[in-house]
Amino acid sequence: MCGIAGIIQSNHNEYQAEHLKKMTDALSHRGPDGEGSWQSNEGTVLFGHRRLSIIDLSDHAAQPMQYADRFIIIHNGEIYNYVELREELKKNGYSFRSQTDTEVIVAAYAHWKEDCVEHFDGMFSFAIWDKQDKELFAARDRFGEKPFFYFYNEEKKCFWFASELKALWAAGVQRSPNFKMLFNFLTIGYVDNPNKPQETFDNNIEKLPPAHFLKIKTADRFEVTIEKYWDIDIEDEPLEISDAEAIDQFSELFTTSINRRLRSDVPLGTSLSGGLDSSSIVAKITQQQTSNPKLQTFSAIFPGFETKKNILMKWPNNFRFNH
């Protein structure tokens, strides 16, 4: 899972390492395998990380990670196609000290800059500081699987970010409940505002929307910009393919997706909900890993919890809603 936290500020005396430590301490449950921090020479950039080790368990994969004596990265998530990307980047002259996907992300940024996100297959939330250009680049995956919350004080020219709201509160951001979001959650179960995707349950804190990246330039000014890098294309014409071709394409995509997610340096497991999707995943994993047929599976139940379907089935047959 991992936890990331950072402070970007124009005044190096405003916030210190102890503020960052409070943020990473609040994220300790996200990363029990390691803790690290980094601070720029000017004291205007502070990065913190809590690590959950999945790929490359060595110290070479520890974060914050420096690359090419220019870039610093903190990352939460996993890039599933990192093996393929690493080979492509090697052909372009890039070298690697670790076997982790985090180093591939930062090398991809060095090569493609902001277009690097177009190459990633995965779930991610990361921040990269460019020491040469004095610029922050942060991005979130296409569907927002990994979180990225931030607080921007325009008057003080200070930007804080973290994997959870509580990390920002721990460092001193004043809590301000967003009652509109709370009302929507309690009445219709919404945890997001479709019309304002950056909105959170705290009025002072926003989140980087899915499929967006963020940049902060501080070389001669403090400017925060946010851009969307991906969206579903709904204008394409339907594919004219046969059922057999559709089955073959889906099978290839499904198999590739599962094989990439099986890359791990720790034991693997998967969840079973009783549905077709999770059962298909377990069946495919078992088929692919014939040498390890005893796959660890997990299911979650909540005693006393009744689904809407079960509740409706208990209504009397003659029950009618009043209009």
Per-residue pLDDT reduced to its tens digit, 56-74: 899 999 999 999 999 999 9
Portion of the chain with pLDDT greater than 90, in percent: 72
**pLDDT band at 306; cut points 50, 70, 90:** low
Look at residue 298 and tell me whether its pLDDT is greater than 50.
yes
**pLDDT band at 323; cut points 50, 70, 90:** very low
Look at residue 220 and tell me whether its pLDDT is greater than 70.
no
Sign of the four-CA dihedral 248, 254, 255, 260: positive
Q: What is the pTM of this model?
A: 0.90
**pLDDT band at 312; cut points 50, 70, 90:** very low
pLDDT digits (tens, 9 = 90+) for 175-186: 999 999 999 999
* CA distance linking residue 22 with residue 19, whole number of Å: 5
Report pLDDT for 8. Answer: 95
For helices 82-91 and 101-112, the axis angle rounded to 10 degrees is: 50
Cα within 13 Å of Cα(53), Cβ side: 14
| Average pLDDT of the residues in 271-277 | 87
Nearest to 200 by CA among 148, 154, 157: 148
Ordered by where they begin, the domains of the chain are 3-228 (3.60.20.10), 241-323 (no CATH)
pLDDT digits (tens, 9 = 90+) for 21-48: 999 999 999 999 999 999 999 999 999 9
2 is catalytic: yes
Residues 6 or more apart in contact with residue 39 via CB below 8 angstroms: 17, 20, 45, 46, 47
Report pLDDT for 295. Answer: 79
Report pLDDT for 22. Answer: 96
Portion of the chain with pLDDT greater than 70, in percent: 92
| Average pLDDT of the residues in 7-24 | 91
Look at residue 108 and tell me whether its pLDDT is greater than 50.
yes
Catalytic residue among 2, 8, 65, 110: 2
Report pLDDT for 232. Answer: 85
